Structure 1
Amino acid sequence: MHTPNLVVAVADRLKFFQGLGNNTGDYGKLRLTLEGHGVPSVAAKVSRLDWFRNAAGLVDPNYWRGTLRPRPVLDWYLKRIDEAVREAKEMAQGGSLSLIGHSAGGWLARVYMEEFGVCDISLLLTLGTPHLPPPKGLSGVIDQTRGLLDYVEKNCRNAVYTPELKYVCIAGRYIQGARIFGGSEINVVSAMPVDGDQLISEVAIANDVESSTLNASTWRARFVGQGYKQVCGQADVWGDGVVPEVSAHLEGALNISLDGVYHSPVGSDDVSRP
């Protein structure tokens, strides 16, 4: 009898030491969807308060030098992944495992595979994961992982897509960023068409609506673009609102981009931010 793959859902942290990360409960809908397709799952048990453990990295001189390593500062997280993997192995009864890593959970899963091995793992699926370190030497760009992504790129195994082990990297194309200075390519279609029979006051209202919408869209794109710039060094690229598309793909993996998909389960919905 064929044993279906089990999914170990790796919880996410959006940025190292920047705000709070996701917790286990944020992936409840994903797990229900998987189970509805006959795929049981186990989620790494992580709470939002757990992410404050990463503050231990502040006392490591490598943090300030930008050469931080995953261990020991992230040992607590790797332990949570290992506990979930062990639970999944018991459920699988000899079947293979699939790992799903969202955002930083994707590259943390790669660290786990490097440190603990890939035995029984047949798939690593990453969702909106910033895999690549930001370019060095660019004005205004600060590596917010403080060297962790440099470590991952240099020390973790290369992505592959083979019968034995598959890497699949999914990126969202939700919004294109924009530079702080420079022309905007955002086009806004007025919801109030103007024709010759309209009064001057109606035309003025239409112009105000269009101008206001354009300004809001432009500033939003510029704000998002500055986040993209910190990740990939460029602001005017497409991404999921947090992670640029180019950073979420890996050479050697099966890379997929999905239009209209937002970064996080927190703040998303099934209509405007799927």
Structure 2
Amino acid sequence: MKMLKNMWISSSFLRLSSHPLNKRMASAIVSSLRLRPTFSSATSPFSSSSAGDVKPRPAVILPGLGNNSGDYKKLEVTLGEYGVPAVVAAVSRLDWFRNAAGLVDPAYWRGTLRPRPVLDWYLKRIDDAVREANELAQGERLSLIGHSAGGWLARVYMEEYGNSHVSLLLTLGTPHLPPPRGQAGVVDQTRGLLYYVEEHCAKAVYTPELRYVCIAGRYIRGAPLLDNADADVDSNVTVGIEGGEAISELAVTSAAPTLRARFVGQGYKQVCGRADVWGDGVVPEVSAHLQGALNVSFDGVYHSPVGSDEETRPWYGSPVIVKDWIHHLLE
């Protein structure tokens, strides 16, 4: 299949509402075409007209599943360049093996596992980081930045420890929604944890007192294991960054999805019940948004700092992407 690589789009393109699961991308036959990049950004209705007079709130960065604190060092530095002091919760890769304690809980095998006590160790790390950030805040409130599982664990923390000191929860590629129950071929990887969060944690809001901002990535579209006769766009469409601008690769004709798209699609299916959806390579776009939150999607954004590349595979915390969501921390 031939791909057209000279269609330029803005790396800051935002979608402020999630895509319906059944929305299909139209195929396009495009002649050689180069468009000037356009830039846009989402503006909060609560933005201050004199943002320069507002001292940025400290931010607490919460690592995702399998990540360690060092993976977010560059993000911490980038935030500092915008004047946002940041504290990364102290987590090592070995710490995640603590979750194996859940295997001895019968609730794990029933699929009704609760966050506590299995994840008490992580909640304690959040609290330690929040206490450190509070010293920097000097009485002001904080921002929580949760990457991947760190986003829904932040919601558990706010439910268990209180949120009076939090004014913003910004999540990056977080699988907020539990998978559909009883669907063939779908196994809840969290063994009930996301069902608990959905049922017991506070709903997302976007108010002057507390704002939820949920950011999703559209890096690659998945595909089912078996060919979909109705597909009209190559499922291996990806969006990369070249020279500081994004490149969208559109398929000219229909073709069978690649092995990579099928593999990614099976991962998406375990999270949202569908394989043929867009996502960041790990978390589907539809799962990373919450009703009641300000939901934003970025084209060309990969899930994790591990395996990311600043030029062709930026992740949510890459400087070229941070510049398009940093305003939420400055408001």
- Contact residue 114 and residue 192 of structure 2 kept, 8 A: yes
In the alignment, the residues of structure 2 paired with residue 188 and residue 246 of structure 1 have an alpha-carbon distance, to the nearest angstrom, of 18
Is it true that 1:125 corresponds to 2:125 in the alignment? no
2:236–2:260 contact (8 Å) kept in structure 1: no
1: distance between equivalents of 2:130 and 2:54?
Answer: 20
Flag structure 2 segments of 5+ consecutive residues without an equivalent.
1-52, 238-254, 315-331
Match of 2:67, SS state, is coil
Computing the radius of gyration from Cα coordinates, the structure with the larger value is: 1
Match runs of 1:80-119 below 5 Å = 80-119=125-164
Task: Give the C-alpha shift of residue 270 in structure 1.
Answer: 1.2
Which amino acid in the other structure matches residue 63 of structure 2?
A
Matched residue, 1:146: 191
| 1:5 pairs with 2:96 | no
Q: Is 1:272 aligned to residue 312 of structure 2?
A: yes
Q: How far off its partner does 1:2 sit?
A: 5.0
Percent identity over the alignment is 74
- Confirm whether residue 223 of structure 1 aligns to residue 263 of structure 2: yes
Task: Specify the code of the residue in structure 2 equivalent to 1:25.
Answer: G
1:66 aligns with 2:111: yes
| Residues 138-187 of structure 1: per-residue CA shift (max 9 Å, x gap) | 11100000000000000000000000000000000000000100236318
C-alpha contact (below 8 Å) 2:220/2:235 kept by paired residues: no
**Change beyond 3 A, Cα 1:100–1:173:** same
AA of the residue aligned to 1:268: S
**1:191-210 paired onto structure 2 within 5 Å:** none
Considering fraction of residues, name the structure with more helix.
1
Distance in 2, Cα, partners of 1:264 & 1:50: 18
TM-score for both structures, normalised by structure 2? 0.71
Is there any run of 5+ residues in structure 1 with no aligned partner, and where? 14-20, 190-213
Following superposition, the deviation at residue 96 of structure 1 comes to 1.2
Report the CA distance between 1:3 and its aligned residue.
Answer: 4.0
Q: Tell me which stretches of 4 or more aligned residues in structure 1 moved more than 3 Å.
A: none
Does the aligned pair in 2 maintain the 1:3–1:95 contact within 8 Å? no
Task: Find the counterpart in structure 2 of residue 186 from structure 1.
Answer: 234
The aligned counterpart of 1:49 is: 94
**Distance in 2 of aligned mates of 1:188 and 1:56:** 38
Partner of 1:263: 303
- C-alpha deviations, 1:2-33, integer Å up to 9, x for none? 542011000110xxxxxxx0000000111111
Secondary structure of the 1:221 match is helix
Structure 2 match to 1:237: 277
> In the TM superposition, what whole-angstrom CA distance separates every residue of 1:107-143 from its partner, at most 9, and x where no partner exists?
0000000000001100000000000000011111000
Higher RCO by CA contacts (8 Å cutoff, separation 6 or greater): 2
